[in-house]
Structure 1
């Protein structure tokens, strides 16, 4: 990445409108402009997931055994990026993401039925499929010749029952939609969670109300290690503890995002970042933000530059 050419500052607090061109966004903050899985540039993907050999071994164990991978570690260790790195390298399509909160339920992950919408429309029973949308887990379990990648993010935020509720689905690889299984119709079309994504079907046919996978999805569950999980749940997962990146790995991440000269000049920032990380939880993105802002150094007063870098950390 070259030095940003746009004049700093853009916002001057003068109340005078102007249409000066904004600089290009950092590569880790680019978006596609459509409601789809954000596909990061290849260099960015390499930078954000420089894996160690033990991590590679456990990822492969989960792939070969068709078991969920439970990834624990502090924020900023690359847990969520792991799912995208595997999908990117094995060409498994867009990642299906299920962000977890305290209200998340198994039903939400499997499918959503808009009963109120159907009642308001006065739709016939045979049109019920228009009001059912598969969730991220339900979509991941659709039969396909290659597995989908499912990211269940921050499972430790869930209600205490959700990990146990997932066990049967993980073991059996199928689930039932009662609203469809009670119908006389053998086949009903419903929408998928990622309907509208390039290369993915908007509608799929459900037979006799059951969804059963052909290839078990590659499931990555992330946890900030803030709670314990039930023993039966842990026994069904491959467990990987992600360590914080050390100085060498951080240097590699910076080098993949920025030109060689700037990467070398960033060594003091990396050292300072590591020192600050011993006192507080810092994400790798915060280091990248600081390095990116340092590209504006020749257009920013030194005292303001120091304040920016402190704020980013």
Structure 2
């Protein structure tokens, strides 16, 4: 089976020139930039009733929600879905890696920039302090609602970081030493926050939340967390979606093209069967299925072996993790 006829190819690989009068096809909806001013990009998100109840328990307790599951089960997307439904504004995201530190998530202080300003005869220290995603989540609210912070892939962090988080998540406050050392007549400082031009007031160097943010922490289960950290979290394990749920996810993501989707539904079901079979062998992420369906709607045949290996490649057993 030819997956793509030469006349349908965008890039032909023959040294020719693409006809600029023909616009490139639109990418899938989830790969389009968010328009300016749109607080939260609404994406279809489907999980089971039991998982919904766990999320609501964390919301009511205002405890961090620790979400685990295989790659591609929608752990990070859950945070955006909650923010969209509850009107919590833009999600503050802290992507964790091995170099991540608690201080980076709380605030950044530009000491060199301040030194230069002082040499010019001025000294507004607040202009050189910017709160990070965790600091902003504690210091700000969205229209009298708590902020939502996504701490993404905490299991990739240094071993000490979960313990470092305990006090801040439990007490809802932290101190900026550079501001705490200021004299009494400079005890009130206005500092920048992440993601907007807003400034917040900091008294005596301490940022203290008016309302605890809702914190979603994701983990791929690559290591265990300390018991003291786990005790402070509500834990949610996201299972891999079954065939019926996958059908619902596909319909939700392609809701604007349902007529075209229905016309090709038997082939979509074949893709779902192929996806579930390959997932059982080596793990696949749900967005890989959505990519294959999008190609199908574009007139491409993702069932062709070379495209199947490219788009539906297992994440384990020789696949790229």
TM-score range normalised by the length of the shorter chain = 0.7 to 0.9
* Counterpart among 72, 80, 87 of residue 84 in structure 1: 80
Structure 2 counterpart of 1:10: 10
Q: Secondary structure at the match of 2:145?
A: coil
CA distance in 2, matches of 1:248, 1:154: 28
After the TM superposition, which of the residue ranges 180-189 and 272-281 deviates more from structure 2?
Answer: 180-189
CA distance in 2, matches of 1:303, 1:96: 35
After superposition, the C-alpha distances for 1:74-129 in whole angstroms (9 at most, x for unaligned) are: 10111001110110000000000000000101101100111122224445684111
Q: Is the 8 A contact 2:68 2:218 kept in 1?
A: yes
Structure 2 counterpart of 1:237: 233
CA positional deviation for 1:143: 4.8
TM-score by length of 2: 0.86
CA positional deviation for 1:230: 0.4
Q: Secondary structure at the match of 1:266?
A: helix
Q: Indicate whether 1:132 and 2:115 are aligned.
A: no
CA distance in 1, matches of 2:11, 2:113: 45
Structure 2 counterpart of 1:292: 294
Cα gap change, 1:30 to 1:263, in 2 (>3 Å)? farther
Q: Indicate whether 1:55 and 2:29 are aligned.
A: no
* Counterpart among 56, 60, 69 of residue 64 in structure 1: 60
CA positional deviation for 1:257: 2.3
After superposition, the C-alpha distances for 1:153-203 in whole angstroms (9 at most, x for unaligned) are: 00000000000000001111111111111112121111101124xxxx2x2
CA positional deviation for 1:309: 3.1
* Counterpart among 101, 105, 114 of residue 105 in structure 1: 101
Q: Is the 8 A contact 1:132 1:191 kept in 2?
A: yes
CA positional deviation for 1:33: 5.9
After the TM superposition, which of the residue ranges 110-119 and 303-312 deviates more from structure 2?
Answer: 303-312
Unmatched 5+ stretches in structure 2: 1-6, 313-321
Q: Secondary structure at the match of 2:27?
A: coil
CA distance in 1, matches of 2:157, 2:58: 23
Q: Indicate whether 1:216 and 2:204 are aligned.
A: no
After superposition, where does 1:166-245 map in structure 2 within 5 Å? 166-184=165-183, 185-196=186-197, 201=198, 203-245=199-241
CA positional deviation for 1:303: 9.5
Unmatched 5+ stretches in structure 1: 1-6
After superposition, the C-alpha distances for 1:43-70 in whole angstroms (9 at most, x for unaligned) are: xx22xx2121111111111111110000
CA positional deviation for 1:8: 2.1
After the TM superposition, which of the residue ranges 279-288 and 303-312 deviates more from structure 2?
Answer: 303-312
Q: Is the 8 A contact 1:100 1:152 kept in 2?
A: yes
CA positional deviation for 1:265: 3.3
After superposition, where does 1:276-291 map in structure 2 within 5 Å? 276-291=278-293
Cα gap change, 1:125 to 1:179, in 2 (>3 Å)? farther
Q: CA RMSD in A?
A: 2.0
TM-score by length of 1: 0.88
CA positional deviation for 1:306: 4.3
Q: Secondary structure at the match of 1:22?
A: coil
Structure 2 counterpart of 1:3: none
CA positional deviation for 1:148: 0.3
Cα gap change, 1:54 to 1:306, in 2 (>3 Å)? same
